[in-house]
Amino acid sequence: MIKRRHNKTALSTVWKMNRKVFILSFVLLALLLSGTAIAADPLSLPSIDLSIGGSEGPEGVTKAIQIVLLLTLMTLAPAFILMMTSFTRLLIVFSILRQAMGVQQSPPNQVLIGLTLFLTFFIMSPALIKINETAVKPYMGGEISQSIAFTRAMEPLKGFMLKNTRKKDITLFQELANSGKTEKELAEIKTDKSLVSMLALVPAFITSELKTAFQIGFLIYLPFMVIDMVVASVLMSMGMMMLPPVMISLPFKLMLFVLADGWYLLVGSLLKSFH
């Protein structure tokens, strides 16, 4: 009881001594907060306007159509990467290689797609640099119009596709696209590749790329198929018919691919296959 009374009296004396200090510090803190609140600018939140109003003239309608077309092109950008670059050939060859080796998810799809994408940028870098210099920079500087920039940007891509597309495929789609033209006009189109329309060039290019990719995949598949046949025949001669040949042939395939430095040879050959 004596200790409790002593503690209470000590706390009361401390509070009486420091009460003035506590009140003064509280008043100063309140003044500082009020001063900073007055001096500071009011907090401004961004406003978002989602209203759609009527256009006063044809210019407003044109701008709205341009925005819609831009959003549509953004959604179709992956299709352009697939259909107008080297992406398709590379990805198909890598997929056939993985299937021929017998490894299901090694390397994973993310690794294959990432490797294919960066190799595509490497192969398409001359065309991309030319597009940036002749179309993007002049358009951003206000030197040329949007239509001229689009035309200049399509020229390097068109040149790349023409170099890597077979004449037979170009002729097929060009004849189907210009079925109403005379034989003289068709002959001029066949001789002058610059007259080939993009509408016919894109499917011709992707058809040619598919054929080339499957040809390369067939050549890659042969040595691994020979290993499978040798291992299967050895297992059958030893009477091990219940043992799956894939379990035995897979280490030999990996060893063959590593000893031959397969990734170096395959990537180098694919890069050299593009003109």
Non-local (6+) Cβ contacts of 124 within 8 A are 85, 86, 160
C-alpha distances in Å from residue 120, one per residue of 150, 164, 191: 21, 14, 30
SS3 (DSSP) at 22: helix
Q: What is the pLDDT of residues 63-90, one digit of tens each?
A: 667 777 777 777 777 777 778 888 889 9
What is the model's pTM? 0.68
How many Cβ atoms sit within 10 Å of the Cβ of residue 152?
18
CA gap 117, 104 in Å, rounded = 21
CA gap 219, 93 in Å, rounded = 10
Non-local (6+) Cβ contacts of 195 within 8 A are 188, 189
**Torsion angle of C-alpha atoms 137, 140, 142, 143, degrees rounded to 10:** 10
Q: What is the pLDDT of residues 103-147, one digit of tens each?
A: 877 788 888 888 998 999 899 888 888 888 888 888 788 788 878
Give me the pLDDT at residue 4, please: 45
| Below-50 pLDDT ranges, the chain | 1-8, 10-11, 14, 21, 24, 27-28, 31-41, 43, 50
* Contact by Cβ (8 Å): 237, 224: no
Give me the pLDDT at residue 214, please: 92
Give me the pLDDT at residue 37, please: 42
Give me the pLDDT at residue 43, please: 46
CA gap 30, 243 in Å, rounded = 84
The DSSP letter of residue 42 is: P
* 266-219-254 Cα angle (round to 5): 60
**Chain CA centroid to CA 53, Å:** 36
* Contact by Cβ (8 Å): 229, 207: no
* Contact by Cβ (8 Å): 208, 201: no
Of the candidates 246, 219, 214, 218, the residue with the CA atom closest to the CA atom of residue 232: 246
* Contact by Cβ (8 Å): 253, 102: yes
Non-local (6+) Cβ contacts of 196 within 8 A are 158, 162, 170, 174, 189
CA gap 122, 129 in Å, rounded = 11
